[in-house]
Structure 1
Amino acid sequence: MIAQKNGTPDAARVLRRTTIAAMAALAVLAGTAPGSAQSQGATLKIGVPVPLSGSSANAGQDIVNGAKLAAAKINAAGGVLGKQIELVPEDDACDAQTAVQAAQKLVDAGVVAVAGGYCSSAALPELTTFHRVGIPYVMDASTNPKLTEMGYENVFRTIGRDDEQGPFAANFIKNFLHAKRAAVINDNTTYSKGLADNTVEALKKDGVDVVYDDAITPGQMDYSPTLTHVGSLKPDVIYYTGYFAEAGLLVKEARQLGLKMTLMGGDATNDPTLMKTAGPAADDMVITTAPLAQFLSAAHGYVDDYTKAYGQGPGPYSVYEYDAVGVTAKAIANAKSTAPAAINAALHKISGYQGVTGMISFNPKGDRSNAVYIVITVRGGNFTPYQRLDSSGHWVAMK
Structure 2
Amino acid sequence: MSDEVGLEELLTMPPYSLDEQEREELLLPLIRQGARKACSNPHIRSMYTKLGLEPEGMMGLEEVPAVPVRMFKSFDLSTVDRSEVTRVLRSSGTTSQHASVVPLNKITASNQTKALRRILGAYLGDKRRVMLVIDHPGVNSPTRELTARGAGVRGLSIFAKDIVYLLREEEGRLVLDEQALEKARRLAETQEVYVFGFTFIIWSVFCKEMEERQHQLELPRAVVFHGGGWKKLKDQKISREVFSQRLAGLLGCPPTEVRDFYGMAEQTGVIFVDCEIGHKHVPVFGHVIMRDVRTMEECRVGERGLIEVMSVLGDSYYSQAVLTEDVGRLLGIDDCPCGRKGRYFVVEGRAEQAEARGCGDTFRER
Q: TM-score range by the shorter chain?
A: 0.3 to 0.5
Greater relative CO, 1 or 2 (CA 8 Å, sep 6+)? 2
TM-score w.r.t. the length of structure 2 is: 0.36
- Identify the structure with the greater strand proportion: 2
Give me the TM-score of the superposition, normalised by structure 1.
Answer: 0.34
Larger Rg over CA atoms = 1
